[in-house]
Chains A and B, each alone.
Chain A
């Protein structure tokens, strides 16, 4: 079975600070990796995804993530956060068969103006 760990449960940053949220997964086969964002009171939105190719993936709103296969990691980064980035962030992994999608526990980010 696959599992996803997000080690940071709560992160508080000031505006313009840099962000890195950790995501590690355990699965022996080929995976597809996702980061979703959920703004307060809203539904999940896809930030970015990795399937193959360049391990550095750029998403919307200035976010990027790097897939490091040897570390089973897919960390999310943003060089300079804004107050509007306050949200909950979920890492997710699907297997290549397309029959399973597993979410991490989420990281609640608060950006102070």
Chain B
């Protein structure tokens, strides 16, 4: 079974340029997350989707960041314009929708390999 797929793996852009990241979750996972991870820090949630609905986007800087998951499957995260401080790894993750729905109740998030952004 394929895992969470993200692209591109690496992106280098100049400040004020736009950038977009794409994520395809594990088949059957209704919940999709975008996390940001800075060096030496843990992942921080940007946005969480249940199917096509953004149910938690309180940490998404909406002046420059946007995300969509139009058909409830794959998702795109966009930054426009990028700033120097946006340099980080952008991680996509997916999970079963309901914790109790998983027989082992592991509550596991499956992460993609991440998209490493460098803003010059």
Instruction: Tell me if chain B binds chain A.
Output: no
